[in-house]
Each structure stands twice: as structure tokens, then as C-alpha cells.
Amino acid sequence: MLQDQIQRGIEELGPWFYAFDFGHGLSTTPAIPPQVAEIHSTRLAMLESAVTAHFGTRTNGIECLDIGCHEGFYSLAIARRGMRVTGVDAREENLRRARFVTEAMGVDNVAYRQGRVETLARDEGRSYPLTLFLGVLYHVEDPMLCLRQVAAVTDDMCVIETQVVDEVEGFTEWGAREWTRPYQGIVALVDESGEFNAGNRETGVTPIAMCPSPKALLFMLRHAGFARAEILQPPPGAYEQHARGKRVVAVAYKS
């Protein structure tokens, strides 16, 4: 793609959510504050660390499914490691940006298609050694359904990044006053109507969002079909929400 074509695409497809550097002084500028954009670099650092720890140097040719790929930022990062990546997103406007970036950078081991996590297993009809589910879970209205779909298309490992809420623990009556059950972890109902109705493409596909606590996230991952799951420690200099435990990166394994 010629430089003037790249410049025209940057202008016509904006505003952008991620920073992409095309070289020759051509780049996109995220339409979010610089300090918030640090979410992306922390996610990327933790993703790459998890992939390296599990797959080592045997990444060439491995297939990856990036669920909720948005503009393709993480799809491209994984593709640079030699993996073949399929990016799926619910919004065609995101996919237009992702396809433009991929073409402009001359990357040929990434493909994109439109789809929703709620019907992922049926739509894919297959599974992948590596799946990514970054920045999506806390925007869906049925997180358990979505995690089951993600588990169904994961052969080996899934990396999940999500906002989380504070833990709530206690006991509740369960059928009768004298029968109680302990509960650990919580899933909070969050109203995204304002952003959704304004056409914000960083929301889910409905205005209802369900955000888990860390313990709830691990519980749901195990019951979704993963054999084990863990929450990773953020690296030094992590984005402030990751550093404070308000956002987490979890890795879930099928065996």
C-alpha cells in the first residue's frame, strides 16, 4: 500500500482506539487519554509473557483465535510471532480498521471475520491451540455463556483480560432459613446504556454488562470447561488499574 493510501486510510477510518505505526511518520493516534492508553501496553506485555511461558519458541504456524479483536492490535502482535491468526469481532466498523492496518503493514497471516462470542462454537466449528479474550468479558450480559463458548473453541490455552469488581463473600439462605450456602466472588450488573446509545464501539452488543470479581472469574473459568486457571501478577510499571487489581489478566488451560 502506498504512503498516500495509508495516510488517507488513517484519516478516513478515524477516530482510532489503538496506536499503529506504519513507518515513514505515518501512525494512528488513540482517541483516549495517553495515560489510559497504557492499558494496551500492559495487556500486550502480559499476553506475550504468558504465550512465551507456555509455548516457548514453538509458535511458528500455531493457530490463534482473537475473540473481540477490535482493530486487530493483539492479532498483529501474535501474528508477528509466526502464528496464524483469525480475528473475530461483532462490529464491522472495527473489522474495516483491522483489515486496513493488516493490509497496510503487509501482514498475510491474519484474517478477520464478523461474529459474536455468544455463538462462537457453532460459528467456528473447530478449536484453536491459543485463544485471546481481551477486554471483552466485562461488556457481555451473559458471561457464563460466553466463557463456555470460549472454552469450546480452545484446545490448549486462553488468555483473558477483564475489568473486575471487588470481592463480596458471605452466606445466604438456600431453600430454608436453616439451610445456608457460602458464596465467594460476585458478578456485578453494570448499566452501559449511556455509552451504548451514544454508539460507543467499546461497549458490548447490548447495554447490559456483567463484571466479575477475581474469585468469580476463576470459578466461572473452571465451570466453563477449563481444567485450571490462574490470575497473573502485573509487571512493574503496569497500567494503574492492573497494578491495583481492578483489571486482571487470567490464563486458563484445558489440561
Mean of per-residue pLDDT scores for the chain: 96
Mean pLDDT of 163-189: 95
Share of the chain above pLDDT 70, in %: 100
C-beta of residue 251 within 8 angstroms of C-beta of residue 49: no
Q: Kindly state the greatest CA–CA separation across the chain.
A: 73
CA distance 6 to 29: 14
What is the model's pLDDT at position 141?
95
Question: If pLDDT is split at 50, 70 and 90, which confidence band does 246 have?
Answer: very high
Which tens digit of pLDDT belongs to each residue from 183-241?
Answer: 989 999 999 999 989 888 888 889 999 999 999 999 999 999 999 999 999 999 999 99
What is the model's pLDDT at position 188?
96
The percent helix, strand, coil of the chain (3-state, each to 5) is 35, 30, 35
pLDDT of 58 above 90: no
What is the model's pLDDT at position 184?
87
Question: If pLDDT is split at 50, 70 and 90, which confidence band does 57 have?
Answer: confident
pTM (2 d.p.):
0.95
Mean pLDDT of 157-161: 98
What is the model's pLDDT at position 133?
98
Which tens digit of pLDDT belongs to each residue from 116-142?
Answer: 999 999 999 999 999 999 999 999 999
CATH number of 3-253: 3.40.50.150
Residue ranges covered by each domain of the chain: 3-253
The residue with cell 458471605 is 170
Where does 51-96 show beta strands of DSSP type E?
Answer: 63-67, 84-89
C-beta of residue 145 within 8 angstroms of C-beta of residue 118: yes
What is the model's pLDDT at position 41?
96
For residue 237 the three cell numbers come to 510499571
53-62, 175-184, 233-242, range with the lowest pLDDT: 53-62
pLDDT of 171 above 90: yes
